[in-house]
Amino acid sequence: MERLQKYLSNCGVASRRKSEELIKEGRVKVNGETILELGFKVDINDIVSVDGVDVKKEDKVYYLLYKPEKIISSVKDDKGRKTVIDLIDTKEKIFPIGRLDYDTSGLLLLTNDGNLSNLLTHPSHNINKIYSVKLSGIIKSSEVKELEKGIVIDGVKTKKSIVKIKKIDKKNNKSYVEITITEGRYHQVKNMFAYFGYQVVKLKRTNYAFLDLSNLRIGEYRKLTPKEVKKLYSLK
Ligand code: URA
């Protein structure tokens, strides 16, 4: 049994708050009867309609995409550019869980499951994300230590991270590093290196929690297995 407004939002009708308004406005019927009570409980056997149109619980879908560069991580782009949604062949209304920048490639999850998305993007959930980074300049080990402990960006200290230097290319003045972070602040990785004056010239997310890009080429995607979805739900 589920509260009517939660049921409506889980069906993708509207947000929880908007669904409450629909109920209060008398636009929602359960088994043919108008329901005005917000706490009203329904289950899958009930026939729920909004403005006379039956609402169906949509199947939840989960995709893991190897996002290419030069693709927007949103559902729509006002400049008409290609988005990650255009890369996935589905009729469900999916959206990305978090974002990768236009020029960042790598692992991106997409779903129509708002509950899982809220859970994974909530700041209290320390989901490990690993990025492979190419920097202009030669990073110092003292800077790596500072980055790992946390630096202050926009007045807020970054949480602990793990930074591994993979290769230093002195000839071309480039550093290749791998950074593991648990946060998802705006331009987080770029800003962390910019703090020491390094520009990120290439950025790729290789891992998200226990998931990686195995067996996928750039631009390809796969569905998550039910076991993987369950595991994502159980992450703390
Ligand atoms: N950090 C960034 O700066 N950009 C991304 O796309 C992801 C993490």
pLDDT in tens, 75-107: 888 888 899 999 999 988 899 999 999 999 999
Name the residue with the closest Cα to ligand 1, atom 7.
Answer: 100
Q: Identify the pLDDT of residue 17.
A: 87
Identify whether residues 45 and 66 lie together within a single domain: no
Identify whether residues 96 and 141 lie together within a single domain: no
Ligand 1 centroid to Cα of residue 231, in Å, is 24
**pLDDT at 207 exceeding the cut of 90:** yes
Final residue of a structural domain among 55, 71, 98: 55
| CA distances from residue 63 to 14, 133, 215, 220 in whole angstroms, order as listed | 22, 24, 14, 10
Domain at 148, CATH number: 3.30.70.1560
Q: Identify the pLDDT of residue 77.
A: 86
Q: Identify the pLDDT of residue 236.
A: 65
Ligand 1 atom at minimum distance from 184 CA: 8
Identify whether residues 117 and 220 lie together within a single domain: yes
Ligand 1 atom at minimum distance from 104 CA: 6
Express each pLDDT in 134-149 by its tens digit: 999 999 999 999 999 9
Computed over its alpha carbons, how large is the radius of gyration of the chain? 22
Q: Is 103 a catalytic residue?
A: no
Identify whether residues 133 and 114 lie together within a single domain: no
**pLDDT at 15 exceeding the cut of 90:** no
Identify whether residues 139 and 162 lie together within a single domain: yes
Residues 230, 221: Cα–Cα separation, whole Å: 19
- Which residue out of 134, 189, 199, 204 has the highest number of ligand 1 atoms within 8 Å of its CB and is therefore the one to mutate? 189
Identify whether residues 93 and 135 lie together within a single domain: no
Express each pLDDT in 31-81 by its tens digit: 999 999 998 999 888 999 999 999 987 789 999 999 999 999 988 888 888
Name the residue with the closest Cα to ligand 1, atom 4.
Answer: 187
Q: Spell out which residues line ligand 1, taking CB within 6 angstroms.
A: 100-101, 104, 187-190, 203
Q: Identify the pLDDT of residue 78.
A: 86
**pLDDT at 122 exceeding the cut of 90:** no
Identify whether residues 175 and 141 lie together within a single domain: yes
Identify whether residues 170 and 109 lie together within a single domain: no
Q: Which residues contact 162 (CB under 8 A, 6 or more apart)?
A: 148, 179, 180
Identify whether residues 141 and 199 lie together within a single domain: yes
Residues 204, 104: Cα–Cα separation, whole Å: 6
Identify whether residues 167 and 203 lie together within a single domain: yes
- Which residue out of 70, 72, 97, 104 has the highest number of ligand 1 atoms within 8 Å of its CB and is therefore the one to mutate? 104
Amino acid (1-letter code) at residue 179: I
Range of the domain at 185: 128-208
Angle at 115 between CA 105 and CA 33, to 5 degrees: 140
| pTM of the predicted protein model | 0.82
| CB-side neighbour CA atoms (13 Å) of 22 | 23
Query: Is 24 strand, coil or helix?
Result: helix
**pLDDT at 125 exceeding the cut of 90:** no
Ligand 1 atom at minimum distance from 192 CA: 3
Identify whether residues 67 and 175 lie together within a single domain: no
Ligand 1 centroid to Cα of residue 187, in Å, is 4
